[in-house]
Structure 1
Amino acid sequence: MKFTTEMLQTGNNTGIPVPEEVVEGLGGGRRAAVTVVVNGYTYRSTLASMGGRVLIPFSADRREETGIGGGDPIEVELTLDTAPRTVEPPADLAAALAAAPGAAEAFRALSPSRQKAYVTSVEGAKAQATRERRIAKAVTELTAG
């Protein structure tokens, strides 16, 4: 499904408004997983209802990578994304999860977005000590039940 719109920005948050006819045409519902192509930039996301409209999040990282900002005209193509959503933890996080009883299973039971949050936190650490603290925190949270 292709359409043209403007990038919506409210404060620091940006998103792609999706017309209702596009949501209906996709057939996946208002929380469907989608592959998004915006001005030639491709990523995976999920439709979200916010303030009575359907939006696709467009993060600050994506704005920086693409140069697209609020109010910019955009061409969008959406397709249902039926591929499994998997997140691979970095080796050190995976090893720590495997070493703690139940941690790896708890990690796999999380939604892909929650798994990604743990991975992003670990990978975003600049210092090795910070990375190790974040890994330890993740293991503690996952084994706490």
Structure 2
Amino acid sequence: MKFEARVIPSGNATAIALPEDAVTALGGGARPAVAVTINGHTWRTRVARMRGLCMIGISAGNRAAARIAEGENVEVAIELDDLPREVPEPPDLKSALDADSSIRRAFEKLPFGLRQKHVRHLEEAGSAETRDRRLARLVSALHADSA
């Protein structure tokens, strides 16, 4: 389905509001998983309910990739996302997770978007040392969460 929406401020990011009937028409419940496309850029997310509105959050990265800014009116294409919510694990992360089942369980409990963010953070490291530090911090945080 397509509709026009204004990019509005929402917490530390921005969002677009969806009409309630659009969420109902999608199916998938009150907070359906969706694929959102703006200006040819697509990302997977979930409908949020905030301040009585149905919202789709737009991170700084997605705003940049879609070439949009707060205050703009944009054409939005949205569809129900029923694909599995799996995040490909780079080999070093996979090894660290496989080394300790409690850390693996803690990682798998994280929401899809947060798992994606952690993997992206590792992959964006500019050096092997930075990547190793980031991986160690992630493993430490997962270990603390599993305790």
Deviation at 1:76, TM superposition (A): 1.4
Pairwise CA distance, 1:55: 0.9
Shift of 1:34: 0.5
Distance verdict in 2 for CA 1:12–1:108, change over 3 Å: closer
Runs of 4+ in 1 over 3 A off after TM superposition: none
Once the two structures are superposed, the pairs formed by residues 98-117 of structure 1 within 5 Å of their partners are 98-117=98-117
RMSD value, Cα: 2.0
Shift in Å at residue 32 of structure 1?
0.6
Q: Could you tell me how far apart the structure 2 residues matched to 1:3 and 1:115 are?
A: 29
- SS, match of residue 83 in structure 1: coil
Within a 5 Å distance, the mapping from 1:1-145 to structure 2 comes to: 1-10=1-10, 12-144=12-144, 145=146
**Residues of 2 paired with 1:17 and 1:95: CA distance?**
40
Task: Give ranges in structure 1 of 5+ residues lacking alignment.
Answer: none
**Secondary structure, aligned partner of 1:17:** strand
Gaps of 5+ in 2: none
The percentage of counterpart residues that share the same residue type is: 40
Q: Is the 8 A contact 1:35 1:43 kept in 2?
A: yes
Distance in 2 of aligned mates of 1:6 and 1:87 = 30
What SS class does the counterpart of residue 140 from structure 2 fall into?
helix
> How many matched pairs?
145
